[in-house]
């Protein structure tokens, strides 16, 4: 036991080295709303360029971060905040913990291609998987909640010249197994995010 304490003193992050602490999101700048709306569109051709940790943190905060003590950038029916955001990158699939502002490693490995059926899926830096936590809730409300988050991502991407497309075409059963989800969870949509390929 003494050895374990000593190890923790020397390597305080050794036990969860795969979790990623995100930088504090920057909550100003970007395009004005009307310009971002004018630029919003779906993209399906991506470059392999990686997002910086700052951009990733800003994107996730814009998606569904906390903008008040217990409320967030997207509305949710009865403030249930029922949607979890999973992020698939080349390294693994992470759960976004908005309170801690960190990504928690859930599955190691590159599963980006397994989040969709279309050829471009997996070619961008990341694939977002939107998962409803309690499917006993009213399902229509869950899809509505998810739509608001996805639109936040669209607007952030438009503001930062990133490409994105939300996708309903998702192999949900296979992906739920990869994520180890229970019956209470339901995958709703996925969203590809990355830099656009400049021709």
Ligand X SMILES: Cc1cc2nc3c(=O)[nH]c(=O)nc-3n(C[C@H](O)[C@H](O)[C@H](O)COP(=O)(O)O)c2cc1C
Q: Is 139 in the site for ligand X (CB under 6 A)?
A: no
Binding segment (CB under 6 A) for ligand X, from list 18-26, 67-75, 78-86, 159-167? 159-167
Closest separation in Å from C-beta 165 to ligand X: 5
Q: Is 186 in the site for ligand X (CB under 6 A)?
A: no
Q: Is 109 in the site for ligand X (CB under 6 A)?
A: no
Closest separation in Å from C-beta 86 to ligand X: 17
Q: Is 165 in the site for ligand X (CB under 6 A)?
A: yes
Site for ligand X in 28-87 (CB under 6 A): 41-42, 44
Token pair, residue 152, equals: 């936040």
Among all residues, whose Cβ is closest to ligand X?
169
Q: What are phi and psi of 36, to 5 degrees?
A: -65, -40
Q: Is 112 in the site for ligand X (CB under 6 A)?
A: no
Q: How many helices (H) and strands (E) does the chain have?
A: 5, 7
Residue carrying structure tokens 């470059």: 47
For residue 59, give the nearest of 167, 170, 150 by alpha carbon: 150
Residue carrying structure tokens 């923790």: 8
Q: Is the CB of 102 or the CB of 160 nearer to ligand X?
A: 160
Closest separation in Å from C-beta 117 to ligand X: 8
Binding residue for ligand X (CB under 6 A) from 118, 138, 139, 161?
118
Contact in structure between 112 and 89 (CB atoms under 8 Å):
yes
Segments of 76-142 assigned E as strands: 83-88, 92-97, 102-108, 126-132
For residue 74, give the nearest of 88, 86, 60 by alpha carbon: 60
Using CB under 6 A, list all residues that contact ligand X.
41-42, 44, 118, 165-169
């Amino acid at each position: 036991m003494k050895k374990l304490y000593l190890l923790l003193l020397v390597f305080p992050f050794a036990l969860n080295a795969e979790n990623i602490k995100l930088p504090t999101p920057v909550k100003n700048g970007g395009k004005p709303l009307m310009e971002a709306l004018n630029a919003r569109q779906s993209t399906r051709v991506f470059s392999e360029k990686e997002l910086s940790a700052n951009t990733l943190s800003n994107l996730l905060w814009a998606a569904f971060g906390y903008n008040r003590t217990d409320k967030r950038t997207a509305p949710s029916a009865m403030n249930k905040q029922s949607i979890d955001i999973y992020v698939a990158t080349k390294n693994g699939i992470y759960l976004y913990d908005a309170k801690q502002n960190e990504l928690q490693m859930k599955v190691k490995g590159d599963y980006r291609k397994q989040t969709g059926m279309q050829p471009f899926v997996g070619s961008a830096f990341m694939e977002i998987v939107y998962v409803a936590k309690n499917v006993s809730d009213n399902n229509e409300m869950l899809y509505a909640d998810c739509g608001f988050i996805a639109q936040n991502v669209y607007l952030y991407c438009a503001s930062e010249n990133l490409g994105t497309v939300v996708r309903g075409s998702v192999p949900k059963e296979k992906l739920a197994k990869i994520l180890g989800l229970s019956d209470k969870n339901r995958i709703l949509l996925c969203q590809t995010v990355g830099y656009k390929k400049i021709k």
